[in-house]
Structure 1
Amino acid sequence: MVQIVQPGQIVVGNAAEIALGGMCAWRLPADATCASVGRSLLAIALKTLGLGRDLIDDVALAASELATNAFNHGLGVDGSCSPVPPELWLWARTTPSPQLVVSVFDTCRSSFPDAAPRDLLDEHGKGLGIVAMLAAVWGAHRSRSRLGSGRPGKAVWCAFPLYGGWPNPKLTAPPVLAARHLAAALAARGIRDVEHRHGRGISLVTVPVPGGEINVWVEPAHLTYSTGDGSRLRRPIVDLHDVAEYLTAHHEQ
């Protein structure tokens, strides 16, 4: 589902469906208001999901810091990158544990955050230190836009523990539909030559990556694929959007 909430802002997804394996993506303003807008959007979405006040406050604050980071280092304010509006993404996953994932995308790949964020007492660049303090884990990788015709860039993300029985790892979906959905999601992000084939009770999605391809086997309740170190990972079908982000990041390496 695509909505236009106000001029210049595009929304994909429905917050209420995140508990069922869905996701949301919002286009943020390409100016200093992106942090406050991102914080407000997250607060509304998380209330829809029935999360506790403390978690809502932490997630909204982290999203605000990620958006501020995108404005300061990803919108070309120093002339190094194109001033393209950032995007705010939200979904849930069960692997490695039930978590809510918040990510901010920008199109600048010349600037990546430090692996070790600065001390909170440092007045400059402390935003990711706040994110690291609030979230269970955070990171950054190359990615592609979910709202901008697959425009290349990077995603800076963080994840928070979920305690409440969702997302449900036992959710199922017909393999044909899940495979088509995964392939369409990747194609929409500008990843070419994604293929999907279907058999009895199982489907196969093939994604081109540097030096080869990744095969994703889709069953009614699981997705199985090989990771970068050659091991195989089996994940619940409800993790489809997190798997799509993993595949996108791997494609962009």
Structure 2
Amino acid sequence: MAGGIPWRLENGGCAALPLPGDASIASVARAHVSSLLPALGLTVTDVDDVSLMVSELATNVLQHAIPHGGCAKAELWVYQRGDGNGHDELVVKAFDTLREWRGAPEASGRMREHGRGLEIIDILARGRWGHHPSRSRLSSPALRGKATWFALPNPRTRIARCRRHARTPVGEAQAAKVLRSLLVQRGMNRFTVRHEPGVSVLSAEDDLTVRCEGGTFRWHARTGECGELPVADITEVCEQLVRLSEAMDDVHVV
């Protein structure tokens, strides 16, 4: 828990909260995010914008991803990551168990509302939003679904820097161990780890290979997709690996 808030803060720094499957979903998400940010030492330039976008994200889940009658299994995730340009950003994601994306506005009123909500997020996040296949964080076993997200600039406060640094694994072997643990929590049990001088390697058969070397994770998938991120962004590394694995499972790449 963070500051008395019913979040689970996993190793790596992602706070996760279960969301209700009823009309209270938006207010619950909004209230807890507003309380969570200062508890984690995070700041954003406009808290009202964050609250509005969180409401739209949660409402989207209620309208288009929660089965009639409830049983949501929806989750809200909040964490920091680098933006690739030397700055930090706040990432907010809503997970649901409806795999397919229903983002295109259609004729019905509910879908028109859905479209307006996404337009609001697009404007306020300046295009920094999207969706991808993912797995849950709070269910055991982990459930397959998707995550819809937005990101906003996040000033690097002293408290946030200290907490993020404290959560960063030290050394290649420790970083690889923590990453494998995060992947196992998401139901990805196929990764094995081997250690060599100056480098640790995680591999999942021939699907994915991840090298941790010089404070950086580098990965390569059998689809040809590759990427790299610093160890400090281990939460985002895990997200990218889960996304890749789920996408490959969806299309049955051979």
Give TM-score, length-normalised by structure 2.
0.79
Match of 1:32 among 14, 23, 37: 23
Q: 1:140 corresponds to which residue?
A: 131
The alignment status of 1:109 with 2:106, answered yes or no, reads no
Distance 2:169 2:184 in 1: 23
Which letter does structure 2 place at the counterpart of 1:87? E
1:85 maps onto 2:73 in alignment: yes
Q: 1:167 to 1:50 in 2, by over 3 A?
A: closer
Closer/same/farther in 2, CA of residues 53 and 109 from structure 1, 3 Å limit: closer
Gaps of 5+ in 1: 116-121
> How has the CA–CA distance of structure 1 residues 187 and 69 changed in structure 2, closer, same or farther, with 3 Å as cutoff?
same
1:69-93 Cα offsets, whole Å, 9 max, x none, are: 001111013x8xx732310001111
Distance 2:228 2:100 in 1: 34
CA RMSD of aligned residues (A): 2.9
Show structure 2 runs of 5+ residues with no match: 106-111, 248-254
Correspondence for 2:227: 233
For 1:127, the aligned partner's letter is G
Residue of structure 1 equivalent to 2:209: 215
Alignment pair present for 1:74 and 2:71 = no
Q: SS of 1:148's equivalent?
A: coil
Larger helix proportion of the pair: 2
Q: Distance in 1 between matches of 2:64 and 2:96?
A: 9
Structure 1 pair 251/167, CA: closer, same or farther in 2 (3 Å)? farther
Q: Report % sequence identity.
A: 35
1:202 aligns with 2:199: yes
Say if 1:134 and 1:146 are closer, same or farther in 2 by CA, change over 3 A: same
Q: Give the paired residue count.
A: 231
Per-residue deviation, residues 31-55 of structure 1 (Å, max 9, x unmatched): 1111111111111111224445643
Identify if the C-alpha distance between structure 1 residues 39 and 213 changes in structure 2 by more than 3 Å, giving closer, same or farther: same
Distance 1:92 1:192, change over 3 A: same
CA change 1:241–1:51 in 2 (3 A) is closer
Counterpart of 1:183 in structure 2 is 180
How far apart, in 2, do the equivalents of 1:203 and 1:27 lie? 34
* Alpha carbons of structure 1 residues 133 and 56: separation in structure 2 relative to 1, 3 Å: same
CA distance in 2, matches of 1:75, 1:190: 22
Tell me how far apart the structure 1 counterparts of residues 20 and 244 of structure 2 sit (CA, whole Å): 28
* CA–CA distance in structure 2, aligned partners of residues 224 and 92 of structure 1: 19
Which residue of structure 1 aligns with residue 143 of structure 2?
A: 151
Q: Is the 8 A contact 1:112 1:140 kept in 2?
A: no
Q: Which residue matches 1:119?
A: none
- The 3-state SS of whatever aligns with 1:87 is strand
In 2, Cα distance between equivalents of 1:112 and 1:227: 27
Q: 1:238 to 1:114 in 2, by over 3 A?
A: farther
CA contact (8 A) 2:219 2:226 kept: yes
TM value normalised by structure 1: 0.79
User: 1:164 pairs with 152, 156, 170, which one?
Assistant: 156
